[in-house]
A and B are shown apart, each in its own frame.
Chain A
Amino acid sequence: MSKTVLTVDDSRTMRDMLKHSLVAAGFRVIQAEDGVHGLEVLAEEKPDVIVTDINMPRMDGFGFIEAVRRDPACRAMPMLVLTTEVDAEKKGRAKAAGATGWIVKPFDPVKLVDAIRRVTA
């Protein structure tokens, strides 16, 4: 059975791009537009992995990750952060919030799938 990825990003371009790359790699993709929406989707579905942006309205990526980690049903879910920054501080913050790993934007579809494979069984 194909794995399900939840992508959380406020940019339609990025959502489309992620979906395009992931569907091509055989994943099933569900989408959310920001952290709040992401949590709503998680109430309905349990994806195998979450890919989230950081800068989003209503609830940003850090807030979203923390909220997911607090939820007993989702706290062990692998979560990858999409970041344009490569600096250690941003990575550190993402990790402190509970992120499993990160993908540096602009991502290359191969690396994206690699990163997902590294955190999902």
Chain B
Amino acid sequence: MDPMAAIRDVFFQECEEQLAELETGLLRMEDGADDPDTVNAVFRAVHSIKGGAGIFSLDALVRFAHVFETSLDGVRSKRISVTPAVMKLLLRAADALADHVRAGREGAVAEPSKTAALVAEFTALNAGPTAASAPPPASAAPAAAATPTPPPEPAPAPAGRVWNIEFKPISSLYAKGNEAALLLRELGALGRVEVELHTESLPSLAEIEPEGAYLSWSARLYSECDETQVRDVFDFVDGDCTLSISLQAPQAAQPAAAEEPPEEFGFEFFPVTADTSESEHANEAAAEAHDHPEHHPAAVGPVEAMAAKAETASAVSATIRVDLDRVDRLIDLVGELVINEAMLSQRVLEAGLARASGVAMALDELEHLTREIQDSVMAIRAQPVRSVFQRMPRLVREVAAQTGKQVRLLTDGEGTEVDKTVIERIADPLTHMIRNAIDHGLESTEKRLAAGKPAEGVVRLTALHRSGRIVLEVSDDGGGINRPRVKAIAVEKGLIAADAQLSDEEIDNLIFLPGFSTAAVVSDISGRGVGMDVVRQSVTALGGRISIASRPGHGSTFTLSLPLTLAVLDGMVVSAAGHTLIIPLGTILETLQPREKDVHALDSELRVLALRGGYVPIVDVGLTLGYSDQPVEATQSVALLVEGEGRTKAVLLVDAIHGQRQVVIKSLEANYRAVPGIAAATVMGDGRVALILDVDAVVSGTRSDAPREPSLLEAR
């Protein structure tokens, strides 16, 4: 790859990180943080983007970043106070900056209309308080006029120009690491130079200051260059020397030149160009933005799920970037290792070696090591959900603006780690759930006020680890699910019978039915025919489950639970009707030995088990999966109390439990096809394939009155 293209890639990658940093910082400021670290980090993020954009001549981006940066500098220096209005402007600008970056990557220019308005607001913001506290930009002009004007003779003589340069460093020149010889050498780059060293002021050795400056030089430069070029050579040492530069009269351009009285020009070296104040830059940028209406709207591509690992802490600890393929290959190999290790265990067992034999003990050690390697490898892929969470504030702002609702997003648990693949795939469901929470969950501002709630609605996004899974919750403090209306709609759409008796929970779950949409008018936001059923499908495809809890008047909570990794699983090895099955350990609450008197048959198919004062449906696993035609006797079986989606419980009947082990998940769908009731497959120690039970599907199949899913028996 061409090195510049590679640097460009790095730049855009870095931009994503900086944008994430910016967003995080701004949100912290919104929460009232005004410590210099936060404000500096925010400033730096914009500054870095601007700096990099300059390299790649992304002019529109540079201009916008500059105006933004100027305001942030104002905030940093307390010239601009952070009012809620300013905060909103900064947040919107962060979004616009992100658009600019993405447009830049596509080689387009961000939508000018949006930007222009922001630029104008920034200009007003920058100009407002500035005018009072700082000297207006106009004052720069007189200052420039006060600096010495270029040499008296404006018309340059065509030939034989000779510059006389008197150069006397003071000690600060050397203290800053400058070197007189190098400057004189640099003069030589302009033309032929004759240099004369003056040692008159050199004291005797006894009196000499080791770091004093005693030497001075006179140089005669034969060059057609102009004065600026000569001055440029001494640019760095301005103020650290006395310097005079004069053009020798043309007629006297002989070695024996008329001595000019050495002038002290200590102050002469102000930059000749008037320094433009920041607000003037802003005005220019604003003017330019207005002057170029021909900018084409950006063809902004899909927002890429960049892994923004921008943690302040991670900058400190050493990190390496590794191609994901390599990690995946490692994970595959470790998976094979686990299987091989299991096979070896099996062989040792078959060979009839004692548990305490040396081989068996060494094997235990190996198993332990394998497990540790596996955990470490999986940890490489684990990432905090922060990267996804960081995208949500922007979404909330947009949806809030579209719906005209006031929304505050609270997040918790951004540091919760989960496998990279899972992270990539939760973004869409989460986005949809949050849109849904704002659009349908929260009431309009008027309704909220009427209900005695604060005008600003709260949407809370939480991530946490619970029993080997990651749980994501999206809750709102809105009106909760309007159950009579949901039921009416379901009846109207023919999804349920008009006289169906449904529990509150069952009604809530109706919204997951395909084709269900509660909004009377399909709104622009949650509409598009995509409903919660799609969310549910994509979550289920990940081995996850989604549930809802709602309290009228107090809001709803959607809970999404997903496996931490899609590669391995802790499972209970059981057999049912002669087949080996794996039941995910996370779903098992306890194992039981059912007693005759606790088993009650409701009809020919459904049996329940009396358990601690309640009744739990019984699922005969062998029968449900079609391994056998005859129901097993509950008292002759081992029963496992499992919990599925939405905390619904069931008792699974199996023939026997063979132990517990970690299995490597092999997709059944990818290698064969989707099978109802089966989540995936794995390879056992003896080399045979065992199926992993889809507990959610099996459990939900017991709810015969629930209309949401065809029973597994029908599906077969």
Binding site for B on A (CB under 8 A): 10-14, 16-17, 20, 33-34, 55-57, 69, 75-79, 84, 86-89, 91, 95, 98-102, 105-106, 117-121
Contacts and interface: CB of A to CB of B under 8 A. Distances in A.
B55 A20 contact: no
11 contacts: A10-B44, A11-B14, A13-B10, A13-B51, A20-B7, A84-B50, A98-B177, A100-B176, A101-B178, A106-B51, A118-B183
B48 interface: yes
Nearest to B312: A57
B177 A100 contact: yes
A99 B273 CA distance: 21
B235 interface: yes
B236 A87 contact: no
Given A12-B14, A89-B275, A95 B44 contact: no
A98 to B, nearest CB: 5
Given A56-B44, A77-B177, A79-B177, A17 B275 contact: no
Nearest to A11: B48
A33 B40 CA distance: 16
B11 A100 contact: no
B129 interface: no
Given A13-B11, A13-B52, A57-B41, A76 B177 contact: yes
A98 B178 CA distance: 10
A58 B629 CA distance: 71
Contacts of B174: 76
A84 B236 contact: no
B51 A88 contact: no
Contact of A78 (B178, B239, B240): B178
A12 B44 contact: no
Interface residues of B, number: 43
Given A86-B275, A106-B57, 16 more contacts: A11-B48, A12-B14, A13-B48, A14-B51, A14-B55, A20-B7, A55-B44, A78-B177, A95-B240, A98-B176, A100-B236, A106-B54, A117-B182, A118-B233, A118-B236, A119-B182
Contact of A95 (B11, B43, B176): B176
Interface of B is mostly: helix
Contacts, number: 106
A57 B44 contact: yes
B7 A17 contact: yes
Interface of B: 3-4, 6-7, 10-11, 13-14, 40-41, 43-44, 47-48, 50-52, 54-55, 57, 174-179, 181-183, 186, 233, 235-236, 238-240, 270-271, 273, 275-276, 312, 315
Contacts of B54: 84, 105-106
A88 B14 contact: no
Contacts of B239: 95
A106 B14 CA distance: 17
B176 A12 contact: no
B97 to A, nearest CB: 16
Contacts of B55: 13-14, 17, 106
A56 B44 CA distance: 7
Contact of A69 (B47, B175, B240): B175
Contacts of B312: 57
A91 B238 CA distance: 10
Contact of B236 (A13, A89, A119, A121): A119
A118 B186 contact: yes
A16 B10 contact: yes
Contact of A11 (B4, B52, B177, B238): B52
Contact of B182 (A14, A76, A120): A120
A33 B186 CA distance: 31
Nearest to A84: B51
B177 to A, nearest CB: 4
Contacts of B186: 117-118
Instruction: Give me the 8 closest cross-chain CB pairs, A-B, nearest first.
Output: A106-B54, A101-B236, A13-B52, A78-B177, A13-B11, A100-B177, A87-B275, A11-B48
A102 B176 CA distance: 12
A102 B237 CA distance: 11
Given A13-B14, A88-B275, A89-B275, A98 B175 contact: yes
Nearest to A50: B177
Residue from A13, A88, A100 with most neighbouring chain B CB atoms (10 Å): A13
Contacts of A99: 176
A102 B236 contact: yes
B51 A10 contact: no
Nearest to B276: A87
Given A102-B236, A105-B51, A119-B182, A13 B7 contact: yes
B178 to A, nearest CB: 5
B175 A88 contact: no
A117 to B, nearest CB: 8
Contacts of A13: 7, 10-11, 14, 48, 51-52, 55
Contacts of A106: 51, 54-55, 57
